[in-house]
Amino acid sequence: MSDQITDRIAKLEKIRELGVDPYGSRFTDVTANAAIAAAAEKLTIESGQILDAGPETTFRAAGRVTLHRIFGNLMFMTVRDRTGDLQFGLSKKMVTEGWKVAKLLDLGDIVGVEGTLGRTKTGELTLWCTSLTLLSKALRPPPEKFHGLTDVEARYRRRYVDLFANPESRDVFIKRAKIIDYARAVLHRRGFLEVETPVLQPIYGGAAARPFTTHHNTLDMDLFLRISPELYLKRCLVGGLERVYEFSRNFRNEGISPRHNPEFTLLELYQAYGDYHDMMDVCEDFIAGAARDVIGTNKIMFGDQEIDYTTPWPRMKYVDLFAEHVGFPLTDIAKVRQRARELKLEETKMDDAVVVNALFEHHVEPKLVNPTFVIDYPAPICPLTKRDPADPNFALRFELFINRMEIGNAYSELNDPAVQRETFSNQLRGEGDETMAVMDEDYVEALEYGMPPAGGLGIGIDRVVMLLTGSKSIRDVILFPLQRGQGPGT
RNA sequence: GCCUCGCUAGCUCAGUUGGCAGAGCAGCUGACUCUUAAUCAGCGGGUCCAAGGUUCGAGUCCUUGGCGGGGCACCA
């Protein structure tokens, strides 16, 4: 055990000897630091002045001590709450009872105070305390006051420390919550209903991904953690709920990267009687709106790259982007396969459409920096999408790209049960052993009852938060990202 | 799974050619009633990720392993 912890335990015992509980309880009528600062803005306070106590000038406040400066019988401390930092002042004269406890305070302790506003000789807004209550003694020291906690592993494993030590980290998660609130507001305005569908699924579907498996003991039944809520949400359309959405935690048993976490959040929504054009409108409303209203600008830096969220966003055909950036039409399969061989792809194991899409990912996607809708995908890689009536080789699907990342994926939903049954049966080669085309007989039966034509959309919420907060890693926008070696089996 | 970089005090980091383990912050003691990364004086603090190996001698070199970052593969 470190000396610092030993010292703090000794102080805790001294505090108990003073008859004070070092782990306090309910502390009522607290005004947030930011609100206290806002209230002070309305008052005239001279430097060096402490105002007379009164309902406009006296506040109760609480938070964690992040800095302190002690001058014999005078103490300043910087106290942090969820809204920001505020300086508290304590003098032995003003807090006669609390002074003994104040001298035993450490950085990281959580305190509650009552005090009166004033300014120091240097003009700093200060809450001059008339009482001090220790609400929680910290036994472990906080990170270094200037650099905070910078060790990446420590920030993920002990996020609670990161959150109180690094305000910019806390701000990311506050913004994440506001972005999600904003999405809900957009959808409610459009008449959508929030629903919840199974995480434990007997058949996984709705995406191309390897699932996590688990087992229900009493039913003696193998189950999958969902890779997508899609097939259940579309059952809701059959049932007549017509406009539904879900913030879906999805689980995919695949690699981890700065853009991939094994569990991640997808906003998925379905709108009966609409199509994928309506879904483009929703994307723009949500993401450009959140940039404007949550972040406060439509031009946001991501690293060195400025991204312009100003709408409308370009809507480019897949076939045209392919020809432009690859250099020949996607229908020229000989050239497509030739190029794939040059890129050392195992093209002989892939169907044509899979090779085409591999070239698209290699040549086109890296060019898509500002928000771009790529529309009308080759039909064979779209098993859940309605075919274009004008050209059944293409499907009415778009993907939204921002900063080279796929952010959204949307279809005019396939609602012909016969076509759906057929696409479930035609497994594509080159898409891995376990693709989205797992036959879900109950889902096809649902379509046979009649599903209205609909637009459907999935948006990667973690990635949207990354973009809007300038976070380089998905782990910086997930509170507790998966880390190796924490369980009893390790 | 593969490649690569990293792991030194509570935190942030130095550590030369293989030759006594260092600094700042934090902590402890003392001074100090207007500081704000407070200041000044003094003091304490190490499983150098782990285990082997080479060597008279390893934080440093070698091997294996652990954990993490980045890249590839997979994928959204």
For strand B, give the nucleotides within 7 A of a protein CB: 1, 6, 9-13, 24-28, 31-39, 44-45, 66-76
Domains of chain A: 3-142 (2.40.50.140), 165-314+370-476 (3.30.930.10)
Check whether residue A384 has its CB closer than 7 Å to nucleic acid strand B: no
Provide CB contacts within 8 A for A236, sequence distance 6+. A195, A197, A244, A270
Check whether residue A485 has its CB closer than 7 Å to nucleic acid strand B: yes
Check whether residue A67 has its CB closer than 7 Å to nucleic acid strand B: yes
Check whether residue A214 has its CB closer than 7 Å to nucleic acid strand B: no
* A128/A380: higher pLDDT: A128
CA A151 to C1' B47, whole Å: 21
pLDDT tens digits along A65-100: 999 999 999 999 999 999 999 999 999 988 888 899
Q: Before A389, cis peptide (omega within 30)?
A: no
Check whether residue A153 has its CB closer than 7 Å to nucleic acid strand B: yes
Instruction: List strand B contacts in A 435-464 (CB < 7 A).
Output: 460, 462-463
Q: Which of A394, A418, A468 is nearest to A172 (CA)?
A: A468
Reply yes or no on whether the pLDDT at A427 is more than 80: no
Reply yes or no on whether the pLDDT at A279 is more than 50: yes
User: What was the pLDDT predicted at A430?
Assistant: 56
Reply yes or no on whether the pLDDT at A64 is more than 60: yes
Least confident of A56-60, A84-88, A338-342: A338-342
Instruction: List strand B contacts in A 397-436 (CB < 7 A).
Output: 406, 409, 431-432
CA A70 to C1' B40, whole Å: 13
Whether the Cβ atoms of residue A257 and residue A263 lie closer than 8 Å to each other: no
Query: Using the CA of A155, which nucleotide's C1' is the nearest one?
Result: B68
Check whether residue A114 has its CB closer than 7 Å to nucleic acid strand B: no
Query: Using the CA of A50, which nucleotide's C1' is the nearest one?
Result: B34
Check whether residue A162 has its CB closer than 7 Å to nucleic acid strand B: no
ipTM of this predicted structure = 0.92
Q: Mean pLDDT throughout A396-413?
A: 96
User: What was the pLDDT predicted at A165?
Assistant: 96
Check whether residue A211 has its CB closer than 7 Å to nucleic acid strand B: no
Confidence band (pLDDT; 50, 70, 90) for A429?
A: low
Query: Using the CA of A118, which nucleotide's C1' is the nearest one?
Result: B34
Q: Mean pLDDT throughout A390-419?
A: 95
User: What was the pLDDT predicted at A428?
Assistant: 61
Tell me the C-alpha to C-alpha distance, in Å, between residue A373 and each of A128, A358, A365, A406.
Answer: 56, 18, 11, 10
CA A155 to C1' B20, whole Å: 35
Q: How far apart are CA A490 and CA A483, in angstroms?
A: 12
User: What was the pLDDT predicted at A437?
Assistant: 58
Instruction: List strand B contacts in A 281-310 (CB < 7 A).
Output: none
Check whether residue A74 has its CB closer than 7 Å to nucleic acid strand B: yes
Check whether residue A227 has its CB closer than 7 Å to nucleic acid strand B: no
Reply yes or no on whether the pLDDT at A356 is more than 60: yes
Query: Using the CA of A358, which nucleotide's C1' is the nearest one?
Result: B75
Confidence band (pLDDT; 50, 70, 90) for A433?
A: very low
Query: Using the CA of A266, which nucleotide's C1' is the nearest one?
Result: B76
CA A258 to C1' B70, whole Å: 9
Check whether residue A71 has its CB closer than 7 Å to nucleic acid strand B: yes
Least confident of A206-210, A284-288, A431-435: A431-435
Q: Mean pLDDT throughout A284-311?
A: 96
Instruction: List strand B contacts in A 171-210 (CB < 7 A).
Output: 207-210
pLDDT tens digits along A139-162: 999 999 999 999 999 999 999 999
Cα angle A127, A131, A134; round to 5: 100
Check whether residue A168 has its CB closer than 7 Å to nucleic acid strand B: no
User: What was the pLDDT predicted at A7?
Assistant: 93
Q: Mean pLDDT throughout A357-380?
A: 94
CA A4 to C1' B22, whole Å: 20
